Amino acid sequence: MRETVFKKIDELYEEMVEIRRYLHQHPEPSFQEEKTAQFIVDKYEQWGIPYQKNIGGFGVVATLKGGKPGKTVALRADFDALPIQDEKEVPYKSKVPGVMHACGHDGHTATLLCLAKVLLENQSDLEGTVVFLHQPAEEYAPGGAKPMINDGALNGVDAVFGTHLWVTAPVGILQTTKGPFMAGADRFEITIKGKGGHGAIPHETKDAIVIASQLVTQLQQIVSRRIDPLKTAVVSVGTFNAGQAFNIIADKATLTGTVRMFDPTIQETIINEIEKIVKSVCIPYDADYDLNYLKGYPPVINHKEEAEIILDGCRNVPGIEGTEEIKPVMPGEDFAYYLLEKPGAFYFTGAHKEGHDYPHHHPKFDFDERAMPLGAKTLFQAYQLYQEKNK
């Protein structure tokens, strides 16, 4: 059966590309993916695969029960886009101003849809049940995974696997790790409330820009001077907004940033340190502040046995040239929520496009579409090996 499925996946490559490119031209941002969800539903309607829609928002859960007894394995693909203008010149360039698939979620969706179509043709030979999780809103916390879980998407599921097309890895390479794989991802917003005035009379003001500038510098000392050097953490300020004119001292300044970590105790230390630093910087200037700290996705922590299925069991998949156990990476992923509920693993499928060295979330982002059938094959391999190991 395995060889039959692999062969059929390869035969569906053109359809996979067609689906991906259609979605790439018609992206929808997080929490607004109504038409994308309907596109997915229409495919399952066409193929006659049972599904549920509007799970945790625009989520779609399709189910394929095999002809043989076995476990229930969920496979996940996200389908939201980003608020970024597509700047690459390709026939499938986004047709929606200011929105594009800059992270590969269009490819994830095409991969999982075509895998579902292939497995339908082999339903009688399948063991157990395959659950296809089509998830909205991965890009922005609180994300789409947790609402789908709350709506019962994992009910009856024994294990869950997911992959991300990864443009920093070559096509044919899989990357993951046993244990912590991707960081927890929080964000914060700090608003300094000073007193504005004329730029020529600074002594009568409370300069919000000066105060906020000191904050930017001191926040960088949290990791270097408050966190154990053997621990991993990131505190980065991403935006600094203040001022209206060259000769006016600003009365307000707003900073936003992100925090990344793997250890919950490190997270609490950072939260406390941010609060202390903001307070201590504002007091000498008699300035007020608002601090809004949003705990985002927890770390993606793979389960050992399921990660070994990817690292060891997927080496023999046609087209896979190797698997790599890599160090944890700092981007976040709400796949973490699935792994808090069920055994499973998340992994990267190499998708680097030769001569196109733009990272994820870049306006010219693109990936090598030959990675999609490899993603489908390895997801199937993970499902099948899990069945074999848990009979």
- Residues marked as binding for Mn(2+)? 103, 105, 139, 164, 361
Contacts of 270 (CB under 8 A, 6+ apart): 222, 226, 227, 233, 235, 259, 261
Of the residues 138, 334, 368, 369, only one is catalytic, namely: 138
d(C-alpha 106, C-alpha 96), whole Å: 14
Taking each helix axis from N to C end, the angle separating 304-313 and 371-389, rounded to the nearest 10 degrees, works out to: 120
Residues of each annotated binding site: 103, 105, 139, 164, 361
* Per-residue 3-state assignment (H helix, E strand, C coil) for the chain: CHHHHHHHHHHCHHHHHHHHHHHHHCCCECCCCHHHHHHHHHHHHHHCCCEEEEECCCEEEEEEECCEEEEEEEEEEECCEECCCCCCCCCCCCCCCCCECCCCHHHHHHHHHHHHHHHHHCHHHCEEEEEEEEECCCCCCCCCHHHHHHCCCCCCCCEEEEEEEECCCCCCEEEECCCEEECEEEEEEEEEECECEECCCHHHCECHHHHHHHHHHHHCHHHHHHCCCCCCEEEEEEEEEECCCCCEECCEEEEEEEEEECCHHHHHHHHHHHHHHHHHHHHHHCCEEEEEEEEEECCEECCHHHHHHHHHHCCCCCCCCEEEECCCECCCCCCHHHHHHCCEEEEEEECCECCECCCCCCCCCCCCCCHHHHHHHHHHHHHHHHHHHCC
Active site residue 263: no
Of the residues 28, 78, 80, 158, only one is catalytic, namely: 80
Distance (Å) of CA 202 to CA 187, 249, 255: 32, 7, 22
d(C-alpha 198, C-alpha 196), whole Å: 7
d(C-alpha 87, C-alpha 356), whole Å: 13
Active site residue 138: yes
Burial class (CB in 10 A: 0-12, 13-18, 19+), 218: middle
Q: Active-site residue numbers?
A: 80, 138
